[in-house]
A and B are shown apart, each in its own frame.
Chain A
């Protein structure tokens, strides 16, 4: 491990591993490696396991000896645990987003506040890819890192009652996609035609560690993709 970590018992069934408190890709990759390792090593012992930016939470199946589990984690991490994550495992996904003001009139509000031209905004928002750190807040809501500072905007003091599902939005130093209708304090800036949920499953293939790049599409392309029952990610990647 390249970072100092602490093991913190939370309750008789929950323990956490804490990395230094900052948002950083090397920390994310270490968390993912430890998570994968424990997933294999503790088969049948883990009830659920998920993480934030620098904390990995491990909820054990009830009735285990917490002290034993803690000493096992210490042993694993002391043995000079090698994250051994191959960066090529992570993919960059292109997510089609329509920024047309006819579809997303609310974008005007953001552009006004920021005094940015529509074209410049679209270019800046689609220029770089964003790292997916984890899902939280709502089912399928991505915590994405790497929003350019010029695009930051304080969250709305009074959250909107309903941000529609599929909205691409910016709040504070973050950008993301509302996977379902939800109250929220972020500014709507675009809309993706790709449904995040369907047939009772999360339909998007993005995993923590992957990168997401927004790709600007026209309103007619948006409507075309919206009609599709099944979005083929591979075809999209190939044809753009």
Chain B
């Protein structure tokens, strides 16, 4: 069994796979990658199953040393990547020699990156998943000086491959979103704001949710608890807007104004505090 050692862990580095869907009814958050598209791309480039575990890295600033030869790839958010004396690009397969150090600078673009390995990460599997979730898994995050065990694959992947362009580009395209159950309770002015207003990501964000700067003052009645999902846009009683993310609780008592589909969740996760975006309201079959 081989190990990689995190000399510098960055702000929040975790192991993520596709989470714990079988345990939602017991109140267990789904978990899984904040940007699923980039996560799936990492596994795809490593010719692995879509459900395999990757390292999820928030904002970069990482140094890790591998104790055996292997291949890795990074997708999603991007910065400078170097290994040994060479530099590499996002989505490019990186051959790592024994005892070589892989260094990621702070990310220049996006927030969340995925590191897949040609082989597999070995870590505790709790309720059918390796995804870290504090108090379910022993660890909530990887700290500097800690190690991750892995098994390198026997066969290496040929490096002569067409390059895949980096997928995370800060774009100003509006985020597709669907109207939530409480949308129709808003005044037409408030509905119009959601349709065409600009929203700003606040600093208050983590794997559970992202708070927006803008508020919608309202006097809607209190609700009884309903299911919520990653991508649910909640309106709190004080008028705050919160977009629930992958580690969100499974039920909530706030009004649900919008629901983001998978892709929008990933796009939003890569925007940084202070960045602005708009929603594009979509229709569903009746």
Contact = CB atoms under 8 A, between A and B. Distances in A.
Interface stretch (B99-107, B152-160, B219-227): B219-227
A50 B285 contact: no
A108 B270 CA distance: 48
30 contacts: A9-B284, A9-B286, A10-B180, A10-B284, A11-B259, A12-B178, A12-B261, A14-B229, A21-B223, A22-B224, A49-B24, A49-B25, A50-B227, A52-B226, A53-B225, A53-B226, A54-B226, A56-B227, A67-B285, A134-B25, A134-B27, A134-B225, A134-B251, A136-B225, A136-B252, A137-B27, A140-B28, A143-B251, A181-B135, A197-B136
B20 to A, nearest CB: 9
Interface string B16-55: 0000011111111110000000000000000000000000
Nearest to A62: B262
Interface string B257-286: 001111000000000000000000000111
Q: Considering the complex of A and B, which 10 residue pairs feature the smallest CB-CB distances, nearest first?
A: A136-B251, A57-B227, A135-B27, A67-B285, A52-B226, A200-B126, A48-B21, A9-B284, A55-B226, A48-B24
Contacts of A1: none
Contact of B284 (A12, A53, A57, A137): A12
Contacts of A217: none
Contacts of B250: 50, 135-136
A23 interface: yes
Contacts of B226: 52-55, 57
Given A139-B27, A139-B136, A200-B127, A54 B224 contact: yes
Interface in A112-163: 134-141, 143
B229 A57 contact: yes
Contacts of A208: 25
The number of chain A residues touching the other chain, given as a range, is 35 or more
The number of chain B residues touching the other chain, given as a range, is 35 or more
Contact of B249 (A12, A137, A181): A137
Interface string B223-245: 11111010100000000000000
A11 B27 contact: no
B213 to A, nearest CB: 23
B174 interface: no
B140 to A, nearest CB: 12
A47 B180 CA distance: 20
Interface string A210-228: 0000000000000000000
A201 interface: yes
B176 to A, nearest CB: 10
B135 to A, nearest CB: 5
B225 A143 contact: yes
